[in-house]
Amino acid sequence: MVLKVNTSVFFLLIKLMVCYSRHLQATINPTIGAPWPMPQKYSPSNKVYMLDESTFRFEATGETCDILTSAFDRYKQIIFDTTFRFQPKHGTDTENALTVASVKVESECDRFPSLESDESYDLTVSETGIVINANAVWGALRGLETFSQLIVNKYFINGTTITDFPRFMHRGMLIDTSRHFLSVDVIKKHVEAMAQNKFNVSHWHIVDDPSAPFPEMSQKGSYPGPGHVYTASNVLDIIGYARMRGIRVIPEFDTPGHTQSWGKGIPDLLTKCYRKGEFDGNYGPIDPSKNSTYTFLETFFRDIANTFPDQYIHLGGDEVSFGCWKSNPDITTFMSKMSFGTSYSKLEQYYMQNLLNIIGKKLNKGYLIWQEVIDNGAMVQPDTVVEVWKRGYVEELAKITKLGYKTLLSSCWYLNYISYGDDWRK
């Protein structure tokens, strides 16, 4: 499986971009007190106002909740702890410093962000004060982030009028903690960086072939040594941290392939591979022919559904090798019984439909899958979201949407583009 995003590379790239920018200073100047990303409507003025650190405060004039009050404390620290130095050249009104930022949220706070969350906001900075208006608390968070970006040297801000809303409802980043275990603190730094750039979905590829750092499977499936496991409290801590920043956490448990680490702790889950009619000691994907497989999956994903509040779970489905299935005599017998002939894509379809029924009908969750399931000719539920990650994505998107599925594009947005393994050493 090609590593879709590596957080370590994310922070390395930021450092590289900073170094690279130093070579471009003759032609490109950094923006000062400008928002990122560019709002839908952005009208700065030459009027500069002062903020009084000793008296400045945020004030909720509409609905409020723990998300908003926590954001007030966080952004006051962000704003006045900055070390960036800038002296305004325009008229600064030091006698009439702005002391209050009024934030009005129209609707009662949702418990968690969702695909349908309203992130729109209006922001005004003028001589009459600082005002952020938002329909929902998630828009207020985006407005507070923009406000913090407008301030320079702790004290100064341009007069500004902004109307903003995201172009895309799903703006995600994927981290892979199976191949590269990331501590809770590093994951939180990643979430913080997402909030600064107004991303709203943390796609957590939490287990894979190399390791399963997750309860139940972790005793035998995680990397050796202490500290390579996420406890239930760790997971809830990360979800809560992301929630305060308006970021959804979508877990990915990729099956039926990429499950070697699962098999270490779950007996009889994986397919035994045969050579010349005998078990050769190797294991392949999850065995779709056993009823016990679906009993386990329902129990496992029920726990996942209860732990992760988001309405979606990513179920993987990429890069399933049919070789081991083809070698197994029990699966060959099952294929004949089900009238699948030699079409192993039908076996994959059988597995995925059973899994989607568990997730959708029994657990009442939505689901995402990788594009290979569709590429292999398998039919899935009409409400499945198909994520495209391979080259040729334009044609792939056209094919998938023509079939009536919703799609999610990640193909052209890699932060790392590796052939495989530890190319980062180069």
CA distance 106 to 103: 10
H or E element in which residue 19 lies: helix 7-22
Report the C-alpha gap between 1 and 83 in whole angstroms: 42
Q: How far apart are CA 335 and CA 332, in angstroms?
A: 5
Distance CA 262, CA 107 (A): 43
Strand ranges, E, within 245-352: 248-253, 270-275, 278-286, 312-314
Question: What count of other Cβ atoms lies within 10 Å of the Cβ of residue 390?
Answer: 14
- Structure-block tokens of residue 70: 């926590």
Beta bridge partner(s), residue 157: 49, 151
Beta carbons of 162 and 125 less than 8 angstroms apart: no
The dihedral through the CA atoms of 280, 281, 283, 288 has a sign that is: positive
The distance of Cα 224 from the centroid of its chain, to the nearest Å, equals 27
Cβ count near 400 (within 10 Å):
22
Find where tokens 């500004």 sit: 160
Catalytic residue among 108, 127, 319, 395: 319
372 a catalytic residue: no
94: exposed, middle or buried (Cβ count in 10 Å: 0-12, 13-18, 19+): exposed
Catalogue the active-site residues. 319
